[in-house]
Amino acid sequence: MSNSAPDAPTTAHTYLPRSGTDAYRVESYDLDLRYKVSTNRLDGTAVVAGRANARLTSIVLDLVNLRAKKVRLDGDRRVRFTQSATHLVVQAPAPIGPGEPFTLEIEYAGSPTPRRSRWGTLGWEELTDGVLVASQPSGAPTWFPCNDRPSDKARYRIAVSAEQAYTVIANGVLVDRVVASGRATWTYLQAEPTATYLATVQIGRYALEPRHLDGVDTVFAYPPALSQPVHADFAALSGMMAYFQTAFGPYPFPTYTVVVTDDDLEIPIEAQGMATFGANHADGRGGSERLIAHELSHQWFGNSVGVAGWRDIWLNEGFACYAEWLWSEAAGGRTADQHARAHHVALRLKPQDLVLDDPGPEHMFDDRVYKRGACTLHALRRTIGDERFFDMIRAWIGDHRGGVVSTAEFRSHAARYSPVPLDSLFDAWLSSKRLPAFP
């Protein structure tokens, strides 16, 4: 079987059928990037270590707006390749059999730009003075060649050289920083399995402030001028970390990084072990507390436990939205039940044309996926009781840490904690367009 073009979509990948392939899986990405902020020039070398799932005569990677210059296979063989606007196709001199490993070394360069999509622009984007990377769901190929599927998680080493005045932040643990000739090279290691859309680089004139929040090494990165509002607005993060670790289980990564840019952003952005907020989210009045809780909870729901395909995105966003309500209740605000009742009323006034367990690519980021997903979890909680509900969540996170899941797996998992059958509840909330009555 050749994969000289992206493979036909499977059930899990019908939303973005031309992103990624199931013909192989990636075990690690090793990225060496040299970037000039002043000219938006990126020169990179990516070493992609993979293993074939099928017989390969070619290897297809996603790569957008950047050009490959040289490709080597397994260390010393220069190989032929072709490139389209969205894909790099590497020809294998001899077929690679199922189960066999391979290593590609790809030199590439260009001026990275965001990828246009039905959900807006995605990927590598210039700020007023720096860079932001926000890739969900298909922006990762704007800065490195990859197998861009949420189900294909890998380890990362990311080394970025930039002008010395800038701070570079990437996923994982900072293991080295070397300064030479007016430039600094920052090297990060992310050992935990990470989806491509959750890999990120953030560059800016940031102060770095280490913290220790409920046993978790945490770093705040922000423009020095925003120090006061950042400290005020993120003061609740320590309590959130403590509560979520009680409710969901131990924080799943070695570190958590909070980046606040000097630019305003429409919405905050999650990445593996990281969340990025705009200057407008640090107003000094606590106006973004709900969003701070939402992004932190994604480290459990979406990042550690990811989705096998985008049709199951409610497992990311429904849980993160419900985490907002849980934190509100834990912090002495409105209870989760009060939030659920209010949003159920609002959902009744919206079109009843969305199926939560398969909303379609047009609606995968629709607010109804978030709110109806959260209401589904509240209905489950009311049905099985608090003790069973939170035991179920902690086991869900523990059983699937570092992996990917589907709605069918969640239904099966939840059923093991219920004293009553749950099929009718899940059929009504997840698989029917009509909004069920409040539980």
What Å distances lie between residue 75 and 93, 103, 155, 189, 293, CA to CA?
A: 13, 7, 19, 22, 45
Confidence band for 6, pLDDT divided at 50, 70 and 90 = very low
What Å distances lie between residue 389 and 85, 332, 382, 417, CA to CA?
A: 47, 21, 9, 7
Three-state DSSP state, 47: strand
Q: Which residue has the tokens 């990042």?
A: 303
- Residue 117: phi, psi to the nearest 5? -150, 175
Burial annotation 405-431 (CB, 10 A radius, 16+ → b, else e): bbbebbbebbeebbeeebeebbebbbe
CATH number of the domain at 72, please: 2.60.40.1730
Q: Which residue has the higher pLDDT, 285 or 397?
A: 397
Whether 75 is covered by a domain: the verdict is yes
Q: Judge if 141 and 219 occupy the same domain.
A: no
* Residue-wise pLDDT tens digits, 304-354: 999 999 999 999 999 999 999 999 999 999 999 999 999 999 999 999 999
Q: Judge if 169 and 233 occupy the same domain.
A: no
Tell which of 299, 320, 353 closes a domain.
Answer: 299
- pTM, rounded to two decimals: 0.96
- For range 37-54, the mean pLDDT: 98
Q: Judge if 291 and 322 occupy the same domain.
A: no
- Residue 401: phi, psi to the nearest 5? -55, 130
Q: Judge if 156 and 249 occupy the same domain.
A: no
* Residue-wise pLDDT tens digits, 69-118: 999 999 877 899 999 999 999 999 999 999 999 999 999 999 999 999 99
Whether 39 is covered by a domain: the verdict is yes
State which H helix or E strand residue 270 sits in.
Answer: strand 269-271
Parent domain of 38: 1-121+135-200
Q: Judge if 183 and 53 occupy the same domain.
A: yes
Q: Judge if 25 and 112 occupy the same domain.
A: yes
Q: Judge if 161 and 278 occupy the same domain.
A: no
Regarding beta strands 255-260 and 207-213, do their DSSP bridges make them parallel or antiparallel, or are they unpaired?
unpaired
pLDDT (0 to 100) of residue 10: 57
Whether 383 is covered by a domain: the verdict is yes
- For range 398-409, the mean pLDDT: 98
| C-beta of residue 291 within 8 angstroms of C-beta of residue 278 | no
Burial annotation 189-228 (CB, 10 A radius, 16+ → b, else e): bbebbbbbbbbbbbbbbbeeeeeebbebebbbbbbeebee
Q: Judge if 213 and 295 occupy the same domain.
A: yes
Distance CA 7, CA 223 (A): 44
DSSP string, 144-172: S-B---TT--EEEEEEEEEETTSEEEESS
| C-beta of residue 138 within 8 angstroms of C-beta of residue 117 | yes
| C-beta of residue 147 within 8 angstroms of C-beta of residue 61 | yes
Whether 272 is covered by a domain: the verdict is yes
Confidence band for 7, pLDDT divided at 50, 70 and 90 = very low
Whether 229 is covered by a domain: the verdict is yes
Q: Judge if 167 and 54 occupy the same domain.
A: yes
- Above pLDDT 90, what percent of the chain? 95
Distance CA 126, CA 151 (A): 28
pLDDT (0 to 100) of residue 193: 98
Distance CA 420, CA 311 (A): 27
Residue type, 84: S
pLDDT (0 to 100) of residue 12: 76
| C-beta of residue 251 within 8 angstroms of C-beta of residue 299 | yes
Tell which of 266, 283, 299 closes a domain.
Answer: 299
* Residue-wise pLDDT tens digits, 239-257: 999 999 999 999 999 999 9
Whether 372 is covered by a domain: the verdict is yes
CATH number of the domain at 293, please: 3.30.2010.30
**pLDDT over 60 (residue 3):** no
- Residue 367: phi, psi to the nearest 5? -60, -25
E strands along 97-247, which residues? Answer: 101-110, 115-117, 120-127, 130-134, 154-163, 167-170, 173-180, 183-194, 201-204, 207-213, 216-222
Number of domains in the chain: 3
What Å distances lie between residue 301 and 130, 183, 317, 321, 398, CA to CA?
A: 29, 37, 8, 10, 11
Confidence band for 11, pLDDT divided at 50, 70 and 90 = low
Q: Judge if 158 and 259 occupy the same domain.
A: no
Whether 127 is covered by a domain: the verdict is no
What Å distances lie between residue 407 and 36, 347, 365, CA to CA?
A: 43, 21, 17
DSSP string, 13-35: GSSSTTS--SSEEEEEEEEEEEE
User: Rounded to the nearest 5 degrees, what angle is found at the Cα of 93, between the Cα atoms of 92 and 97?
Assistant: 60
Q: Judge if 190 and 286 occupy the same domain.
A: no
CATH number of the domain at 323, please: 1.10.390.10
Whether 116 is covered by a domain: the verdict is yes
Tell which of 299, 325, 342 closes a domain.
Answer: 299
C-alpha 400 chain-centroid distance: 16
* Residue-wise pLDDT tens digits, 255-290: 999 999 999 999 999 999 999 999 999 989 889 999
Helix 289-297 / helix 314-330 crossing angle, nearest 10 deg: 130
Q: Judge if 147 and 210 occupy the same domain.
A: no
User: Rounded to the nearest 5 degrees, what angle is found at the Cα of 215, between the Cα atoms of 213 and 221?
Assistant: 40
